[in-house]
């Protein structure tokens, strides 16, 4: 009999979104005429911009013609896209990268999971709490942890609480760790790291010989010019950090699939016997063996995000979502709620009123306002007492949802 990877059995059954779905379905069955508004999901709603669609179509047409047909592309991504990203997205930040340091992929979810392939199991890993669940679960799946305790913390992982006291940016881990996941702007809390805070992390990682996995999926939503978009804006980061970026939220590619990972050439880790190994070489080998690249039309569409028209249209959509975020944030704050995020990120992280648990507030919002959000406790124990609303909805729904919540609270 074949044996299974039993680490998978340690995972708690996908609880959060199925449970939300169950409660919403039950409510709608009992109240079929209630217009339920969903501000729970972390998915975009605006269609792809015209400049992006045009490039996408043109690339598909190239595939229809013998002279311009393309088969397998480079596993690392086409140079035209890599060079465009470096020139349009990194150089303006003062960050210089080589083409060989950027790897195009079909998503940051897969990249943040797959990166674990090139690191030894014995590494001590630190993640935020609350957290994007992928970081936690992929470390469980690969066998780095024991079982979860009754709170949901897995034995062997180091959790860094993010709470009101630290402004939802974690303190340095209490014990020595080898790998640290940071996500700024943050999902779910909407928190950002200042230049000073990021400098602190880079200095910490260099001192501790640790590697930072920096998830910058929401960098395009930063509105404050003082907040860094890339960890490589910080001196020394190329010696301690891998950065993940995605076209998913930036340009509506959640269904199209395109992302990138930066592994600087100077970044090294060690063998047990103490030799230095370049992580760029290992990631390149990993991708070339296990991945066959992102489709040509998708990479053409992604490059079009940075054309003059493409970027203008992309910015308009980001601004649209951020205006939604402002409406939610201001509306709820004026109704007396304590709200975080929503300024440099498309998520509003609100404190549940009257000491309600996250799930009690979920039920209250669903029953009284017919609005669906996401209970903070679903992202980790420190999310208890908080609630996430997403700014990715359409404008009428956002305005109506805020109005209903205000009425029920005032």
Ligand X SMILES: *Cc1c(COP(=O)(O)O)cnc(C)c1O
Q: Residues interacting with ligand X, by CB under 6 A?
A: 42, 107-109, 132, 183, 187, 215, 217, 246, 248-249, 254, 259
Q: In this complex, which beta carbon is closest to ligand X, that of residue 112 or of residue 377?
A: 112
Distance of CA 70 to the CA centre of its chain: 31
User: In the bound complex, what is the minimum distance in angstroms from residue 173's beta carbon to ligand X?
Assistant: 20
Residue 134: strand pairing partners = none
User: In the bound complex, what is the minimum distance in angstroms from residue 254's beta carbon to ligand X?
Assistant: 5
C-alpha span between 137 and 145 (Å, rounded): 10
- Token pair, residue 322, equals 């951020």
User: In the bound complex, what is the minimum distance in angstroms from residue 129's beta carbon to ligand X?
Assistant: 14
Residue 365: strand pairing partners = none
Neighbours of 117 (CB within 10 A): 14
Q: In this complex, which beta carbon is closest to ligand X, that of residue 257 or of residue 370?
A: 257
For the chain, the straight-line distance linking the first and the last C-alpha, in angstroms and rounded, comes to 62
- On whether the CB atoms of residues 103 and 268 are closer than 8 A, the answer is no
User: In the bound complex, what is the minimum distance in angstroms from residue 374's beta carbon to ligand X?
Assistant: 12
Q: In this complex, which beta carbon is closest to ligand X, that of residue 75 or of residue 111?
A: 111
User: If we measure between CA atoms, which residue out of 348, 347, 369, 365 comes closest to residue 356?
Assistant: 365
Who contacts 212 (Cβ-Cβ below 8 Å, separation ≥6)?
A: 179, 180, 181, 182, 201, 202, 205, 231, 237, 240, 241, 242
Dihedral, 202, 206, 207, 213 alpha carbons, nearest 10: 70
Q: In this complex, which beta carbon is closest to ligand X, that of residue 36 or of residue 134?
A: 134
Helices within 214-295 (DSSP H only): 247-251, 279-290
Q: In this complex, which beta carbon is closest to ligand X, that of residue 259 or of residue 369?
A: 259
Who contacts 148 (Cβ-Cβ below 8 Å, separation ≥6)?
A: 10, 12, 154, 155
Q: In this complex, which beta carbon is closest to ligand X, that of residue 85 or of residue 183?
A: 183
Q: State which residue has the least CB distance to ligand X.
A: 107
User: In the bound complex, what is the minimum distance in angstroms from residue 247's beta carbon to ligand X?
Assistant: 7
User: In the bound complex, what is the minimum distance in angstroms from residue 244's beta carbon to ligand X?
Assistant: 7
Task: Give DSSP secondary structure letters for 185-197.
Answer: S-TTT-----HHH
User: In the bound complex, what is the minimum distance in angstroms from residue 312's beta carbon to ligand X?
Assistant: 23
Q: In this complex, which beta carbon is closest to ligand X, that of residue 154 or of residue 253?
A: 253
């Amino acid at each position: 009999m074949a044996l299974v990877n039993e680490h998978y059995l340690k995972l708690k059954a996908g609880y959060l979104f199925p449970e939300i779905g169950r409660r919403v379905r039950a409510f709608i069955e009992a109240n079929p005429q209630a217009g339920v508004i969903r501000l729970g999901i972390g998915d975009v709603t605006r269609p792809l911009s015209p400049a992006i669609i045009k490039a996408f179509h043109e690339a598909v047409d190239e595939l229809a013609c013998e002279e311009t047909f393309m088969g397998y592309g480079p596993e690392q991504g086409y140079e035209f896209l890599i060079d465009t990203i470096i020139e349009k997205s990194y150089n303006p930040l003062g960050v210089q990268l080589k083409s060989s340091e950027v790897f195009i992929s079909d998503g940051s979810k897969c990249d943040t999971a797959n990166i674990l392939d090139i690191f030894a199991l014995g590494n001590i890993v630190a993640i935020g709490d609350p957290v994007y669940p992928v970081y936690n679960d992929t470390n469980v799946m690969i066998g780095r942890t024991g079982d979860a305790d009754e709170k949901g913390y897995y034995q062997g992982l180091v959790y860094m609480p993010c709470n009101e006291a630290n402004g939802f940016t974690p303190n340095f881990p209490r014990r020595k760790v080898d790998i640290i996941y940071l996500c700024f702007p943050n999902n779910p809390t909407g928190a950002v790291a200042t230049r000073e805070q990021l400098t602190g992390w880079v200095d910490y990682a260099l001192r501790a010989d640790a590697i930072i996995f920096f998830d910058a999926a929401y960098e395009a939503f930063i509105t404050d010019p003082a907040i860094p978009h890339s960890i490589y804006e910080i001196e020394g980061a190329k010696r301690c950090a891998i950065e993940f970026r995605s076209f998913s939220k930036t340009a509506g590619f959640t269904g199209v699939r395109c992302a990138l990972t930066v592994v600087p050439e100077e970044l090294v880790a060690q063998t047990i016997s103490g030799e230095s190994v370049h992580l760029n070489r290992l990631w390149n080998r990993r991708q070339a063996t296990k991945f066959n690249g992102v489709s040509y039309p998708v990479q053409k569409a992604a490059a079009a995000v940075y054309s003059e028209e493409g970027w203008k249209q992309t910015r308009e959509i980001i601004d649209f979502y951020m205006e939604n975020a402002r409406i939610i944030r201001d509306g709820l704050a004026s109704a007396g709620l304590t709200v975080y995020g929503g300024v440099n990120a498309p998520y509003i992280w609100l404190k549940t009123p009257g000491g309600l648990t996250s799930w009690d507030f979920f039920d209250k919002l669903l029953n009284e306002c017919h609005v669906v959000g996401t209970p903070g406790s679903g992202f980790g124990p420190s999310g208890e007492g908080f609630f996430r609303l997403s700014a990715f909805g359409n404008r009428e729904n956002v305005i109506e949802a805020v109005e209903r919540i205000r009425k029920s609270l005032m």
